Amino acid sequence: MGSKRQSIQSFFAENGVSAERLLYGRVPHADRRGFLKGAGLAGLSVLLGSAIPFQRSLPLGLIPVALADAEVMAGKDGLSVLNDRPVNAETPPHLLDDEVTPTARHFIRNNGIPPENMDAAGWELTVDGLVKNPLKLSIDQLKSDFEVVTQNLVIECGGNGRAFFEPPARGNQWTLGAVACSAWTGVRLADVLRAASPKGGVIYTAHEGADSHLSGDPGKFPISRGVPIAKAMNSSNLIAFEQNGGPIHPMNGAPLRLVVPGWPGSCSQKWLTRIWLRDRVHDGAKMTGTSYRVPKHPVAPGTRVPEEDFEIIQAMPVKSLITFPSTGTKTELETITVRGHAWAGDRLVNRVEVSRDFGATWQEARCDDPVNPYAWQRFEATLGLPEKGYYEIWARATDDASISQPFAIDWNPKGYLNNSYHRISVTRV
């Protein structure tokens, strides 16, 4: 499918076999053409919320009617698929209006094929490497041995906004919807690392998950990233086992994942099985080369940049998103209420401003404090529409270091960190 954007429903209709395999890990039965291997249906059963008594008779590519009625993926609503290998889907901005992003509207960012077995009862997390006390912990042990906390935390893909780069940057063509702020419940990563007692000289974590590489090679990881130990010890990082008071959605990393807010979502390993500590910068999959890296200095659009001139992305930049009204709105009213969210990586948002006249003048919006560190901040303003016609509403946020969103950012080869103004159209009729 490449960069073509489509609904999950049409994705299944046009890509039945690959959709079955990539979303659920299902593969054709070796002996019965047109039917599915029963063991591969575990993920589908999770999505349906029930076992499938006659699962061996389910034809390959058939969409169960329960999923068809629910836009194919149970527990997901309104997302647009950007890519099918691996599956990635974003959420339109107007569906992100809630202060806490519903599980159904949390974007999907996969690097490989999700595991078939997501049974929480048998899940085990290993914590090892340069530690004095290596750990093997079940989810029940995490709950009993460490303080359980719930926090609203922003997760944003480093490539959110890539579709707006010119010349185009390779990769999933995210527009605006690779961001969410769900309520995550789990234990602090820092508490677990302290229990493992890091040895001297540790500088980086390394994360591993149970998803498999697209090639099928069991010796390859689809992604294995890490963070500096100072970031890892931030009290807002969670090893999470619940999303919005319920199970984590299978496509969001069930039954266990990291949530490392403020940094690219790739640091928040899904289907988490191992954390190990290292005395060097982690060199796992998607940690080397140009992955999740930007040039150390501005470059002209289209410039070929040597690998040695890239640096690893750390904190995400200040950003805002208008979630109401939706772009393209038509109204007969003389005023319009505008609202949305703003966030700023490791910092706080100090101010959000909106404009109705293409940036000639700006009006400060009311901007709420975050409910906890690393939650996004709600903003709202009322703007006048003095006469009939076409308007653009622009939003820009400024963080507590007085850094504001730009109208347009410098180009980079991988299309990362696009935090330019969010713009929507409104017509008074």
Give the per-residue SS3 of the chain.
CCCCCEEHHHHHHHCHHHHHHHHHCCCECCCCCCEECHHHHHHHHHHHCCCCCCHHHCECCCCCHHHHHCCCCCCCCCCEEEEECCEEEECCHHHHCCCCCCHHHCCEECCCECCCCCCHHHCEEEEEECECCCEEEEHHHHHHHCCEEEEEEEEECCCCCHHHCCCCCCCCCCCCCCEEEEEEEEEEHHHHHHHHCECCCCCEEEEEECCECCCCCCCCCCCCCCCEHHHHCCCCCEEEEEECCECCCHHHCCCCEEECCCCCHHHCCCCEEEEEEECCCCCCCCCCCCCCEEECCCCCCCCCCCHHHEEECCCCCCEEEEEECCCCEEECCCEEEEEEEEEECCECEEEEEEECECCCCCEECEECCCCCCCCCEEEEEEEECCCCEEEEEEEEEEECCCCECCCCCCCCCCCCCCCCCEEEEEEEC
Q: What are the pLDDT digits (tens) for 154-178?
A: 999 999 999 999 999 999 999 999 9
According to the model, what pLDDT value does residue 76 have?
84
- Residue 330 domain flag: yes
pLDDT interval class at 150 (50, 70, 90)? very high
Residues 299 and 374 grouped into a single domain:
no
Q: Which two tokens stand for residue 267?
A: 């640091």
- Residue 103 domain flag: no
- Residue 18 domain flag: yes
Q: What are the pLDDT digits (tens) for 373-392?
A: 999 999 999 999 999 999 99
Domain end call among 41, 74, 107: 74
Q: Which two tokens stand for residue 174?
A: 């995210």
Residues 15 and 131 grouped into a single domain:
no
Domain end call among 281, 312, 343: 312
pLDDT interval class at 44 (50, 70, 90)? low
pLDDT interval class at 24 (50, 70, 90)? very low
Average pLDDT in the chain:
88
Q: Kindly tell me if the per-residue pLDDT of 179 is higher than 60.
A: yes
Residues 207 and 297 grouped into a single domain:
yes
Domain end call among 312, 339, 360: 312
CA proximity to 395, closest of 387, 406, 403: 406
- Residue 101 domain flag: no
Integer Cα distance of 10 and 387 in angstroms: 40
Higher pLDDT among residues 154 and 43, named by residue: 154
- Residue 287 domain flag: yes
Q: Which two tokens stand for residue 116?
A: 């078939």
Residues 287 and 349 grouped into a single domain:
no
- In total, how many domains does the chain have? 3
Q: Kindly tell me if the per-residue pLDDT of 40 is higher than 50.
A: no
Residues 327 and 305 grouped into a single domain:
no
Residues 205 and 334 grouped into a single domain:
no
Residues 52 and 125 grouped into a single domain:
no
Residues 377 and 307 grouped into a single domain:
no
Q: Which domain holds residue 181?
A: 120-312
Sheet containing 179-188: give its strands across: 148-156, 179-188, 238-243, 257-259
Mean pLDDT of the 170-198 span: 97
Q: Kindly tell me if the per-residue pLDDT of 423 is higher than 90.
A: yes
Q: What are the pLDDT digits (tens) for 241-292?
A: 999 999 999 999 999 999 999 999 999 999 999 999 999 999 999 999 999 9
pLDDT interval class at 3 (50, 70, 90)? very low
Residues 290 and 325 grouped into a single domain:
no
Residues 206 and 235 grouped into a single domain:
yes
Q: What are the pLDDT digits (tens) for 398-410?
A: 999 999 999 999 9
- Residue 94 domain flag: no
- How far apart, in Å, do the first and last CA atoms of the chain sit? 38
- Residue 146 domain flag: yes
Residues 242 and 269 grouped into a single domain:
yes
Q: Kindly tell me if the per-residue pLDDT of 72 is higher than 60.
A: no
Q: Kindly tell me if the per-residue pLDDT of 35 is higher than 50.
A: no
- Residue 108 domain flag: no
Residues 301 and 369 grouped into a single domain:
no
According to the model, what pLDDT value does residue 86 have?
86
According to the model, what pLDDT value does residue 75 have?
75
Q: Kindly tell me if the per-residue pLDDT of 6 is higher than 80.
A: no
Higher pLDDT among residues 70 and 346, named by residue: 346
Say which CATH number the domain at 380 has. Answer: 2.60.40.650
The answer to whether residues 157 and 109 touch, using CB atoms and an 8 Å cutoff, is yes
Say which CATH number the domain at 241 has. Answer: 3.90.420.10
Look up residue 346 and give its amino acid.
Answer: D
Higher pLDDT among residues 358 and 45, named by residue: 358
